[in-house]
Amino acid sequence: MNLQLLQTRLGYTFKDITLLQQALTHRSHSSTHNERLEFLGDSVLNCVVANILYERFTQLDEGDLSRLRANLVKQQSLYEIAQKLELSQFLRLGEGELKSGGFRRPSILADTLEALLGAIFLDTGFDAARDTIRAFYIPILDSVDPRTLGKDAKTLLQEFLQSKKVSLPQYNVVATHGAAHSQEFEIECLVPKLGIQVFGRGGSRRAGEQAAAKLALDVAQQALAKSPGPGRKPRQRSAQLKLAGIATIQGELDVDHE
């Protein structure tokens, strides 16, 4: 295991290499594992990300800052950072976890990343951990829209339609598939004023609604971007578009702006 390579990717060299080894150790491997370091790293991470957001987005209120922080420190975001570090090749896992593919599991990789931050904090102090976290997150924040980051598809669709003075969408369950313990819901999302009808599927009604809302938002944005201009009526073009095998869009419109 090339720990120097990992330290190069982290941009940090440990004084106490045993802290790095412990941070990489899952509880399935030995009794000296990384869970306490994970607890510590989680707290440091939340503090630093909150500080970054406070300094960077001076016009955002507490609610929006909380939404952004929650999105940036959630498991999926940490997993994506861990993937960029190729952290899976450095994990110390027990035989059972190795056989079951634990080195690919998002929860294990996210927890290990937090443990690494806790280890850096103990090894040198808060400033070193802060610098490492900033190196992870500043490039991310340079490429995201703080107005939409962390908002789900239904919320984004609602806000978009309201900004165009279009009535809110309607959601209907049109079918359920599968056995009772593993049902898949097919949800219809309608935006009558724009002539939009899309279908989304998910393992719950809410998941199906989110899938449908994402497609409806894509169609609505495309339609309004192709607006023929004031004084002209919408023009219906027959089309059918399938996305990711989970939803169907029926009809693509050119629509006037309100």
SS3 content of the chain, % helix, strand, coil (to 5): 55, 15, 30
Residue entry with tokens 């059972």: 96
Compute the distance between CA of residue 40 and CA of residue 236 in angstroms, rounded to an integer.
57
Angle, vertex CA 168, rays to CA 162 and CA 169, nearest 5: 135
Q: Residue 86 — left, alpha, or beta (φ > 0 → left; ψ -120 to 50 → alpha)?
A: left
Whole-number Cα distances in Å, 212 to 39, 58, 173 = 37, 34, 11
Distance of CA 103 to the CA centre of its chain: 20
Angle, vertex CA 15, rays to CA 10 and CA 16, nearest 5: 100
Would residue 42 show up in a list of annotated catalytic residues for this protein?
Answer: yes
* Residue 28 DSSP class: T
Q: How many CA atoms lie within 13 A of 152 on its CB side?
A: 9
Which two structure tokens, joined as six digits, stand for 56? 């960077």
Which two structure tokens, joined as six digits, stand for 221? 């944005």
Rg (CA), the chain: 23
Tell me which of 97, 111, 114, 209 is the catalytic residue. Answer: 114
Q: Report, as residue numbers or ranges, the catalytic residues.
A: 42, 114
